[in-house]
Amino acid sequence: MSSNTEHETVAYAIEDGVAWVKFNRPDKRNAMSPALNRRMMELLDELEFRDDVGVLVLTGEGSAWTAGMDLQEYFRDTEAHGLAGTRKAQRESYGWWRRLRWYQKPTIAMVNGWCFGGGYGPLFACDLAFAAEEAKFGLSEINWGILPGGGASKVAAELLSFRRAMYHAMLGEPIDGRTAAEWGLVNEALPAAALKARVNEVAQALRKKNPVALKATKDAIRRVREMTYDNAEDFLVRAQEAANSYDDGRKEGLKQFLDEKSYKPGLGAYDLSKQRRA
Ligand code: ACO
């Protein structure tokens, strides 16, 4: 039995502009229970517009990132409440993953260990992903007799080649962090001891970029995947023009390069501290 209260199912700390959010049910390998899903949504709400949070990192306490949905509490217990129970549990989990997909701040999955099934929802929701080489990823649904639902099939089809997605989903064999990086499920795999430092390095680099441009960029990359070239071209013009109407980043970036010659955009970001904000 897990002794976690609902509040304790997720832990977090804010350090140097980074919110380190942790699945916190290590004794249950951080399986996502309805209580955890509710708390995660609440915490995402609390953190999203805080000035001291520039980047959100999602990681796990103990040996797991998350072992997927809690087979007891998410499936068996909610099913006992009929269709209404099932739909409520789905809304709570899909809800925070959707929220994370379109989060205001850049997000990074730091996959420290086991990542199964439903875990692919938050994995895909994060903009970037870094894994320990020793982490294990798997669509284990087939092993207990269901299809990879809750978006997991979609994540596999989005991130993997057709043949790899089929093999991964049909065989249910776990792969390690190195293979996950080779297959494109994560950006990089690193030795566990080096993982946090690398993720922090990336988070700090993101904090130096214009936050309005970052939000527009991450949304653009997700949106254009499903557009024709012409629709994407049009959407991107309008998205940039909308950003220009409330943020002077573009002007400042041009000024520091063209007039002040204080940086080179090809090699790094302009000095954000000089930009006046509305
Ligand atoms: N749901 C509910 N409980 C879980 C889950 C889960 N997904 N994963 C682990 N637990 C529980 C175990 O039942 C056990 O509880 P207990 O101590 O009360 O008996 C505890 O967590 C520890 O689990 P172990 O299996 O003992 O841990 P171990 O480190 O040996 O193995 C592993 C870890 C490989 C992750 C294993 O627990 C496992 O296979 N879990 C299920 C993974 C899975 O298939 N998840 C569902 C994906 S499909 C979906 O999400 C829709």
The tens digit of pLDDT for each residue in 62-111 reads: 999 999 999 999 999 999 999 999 999 999 999 999 999 999 999 999 99
Answer yes or no: is the C-beta of 25 below 6 A from any ligand 1 atom. no
The mean pLDDT of 225-250, rounded to a whole number, is 95
For residue 119, the ligand 1 atom closest to its alpha carbon is 50
Q: Report which protein residue has its CA nearest ligand 1's atom 27.
A: 29
Q: How far, in Å, from the CA of 68 to the mean position of ligand 1?
A: 8
* Chain segment 123-161, per-residue pLDDT in tens: 999 999 999 999 999 999 999 999 999 999 999 999 999
* Chain segment 9-42, per-residue pLDDT in tens: 999 999 999 999 999 999 999 999 999 999 999 9
DSSP character at residue 9: G
Residue partners of 33: CB distance under 8 A and separation at least 6: 2, 9, 25, 70, 73, 74
The mean pLDDT of 52-69, rounded to a whole number, is 98
The percentage of the chain sitting over the pLDDT mark of 70, rounded to a whole number, equals 97
Retrieve residue 220's tokens.
Answer: 């653009």
pLDDT above 80 (res 1):
no
Answer yes or no: is the C-beta of 68 below 6 A from any ligand 1 atom. yes
Answer yes or no: is the C-beta of 71 below 6 A from any ligand 1 atom. yes
Answer yes or no: is the C-beta of 118 below 6 A from any ligand 1 atom. yes
CB atoms within 10 A of CB 56: 25
Residue partners of 261: CB distance under 8 A and separation at least 6: none
Distance CA 57, CA 106 (A): 9
Confidence at residue 275, expressed as pLDDT on a 0 to 100 scale: 87
Answer yes or no: is the C-beta of 22 below 6 A from any ligand 1 atom. no
CB atoms within 10 A of CB 26: 16
Contact 108, 123 (CB under 8 A): no
pLDDT tier at 2 (50, 70, 90 boundaries)?
Answer: very low
Answer yes or no: is the C-beta of 18 below 6 A from any ligand 1 atom. no
pTM above 0.85, yes or no: yes
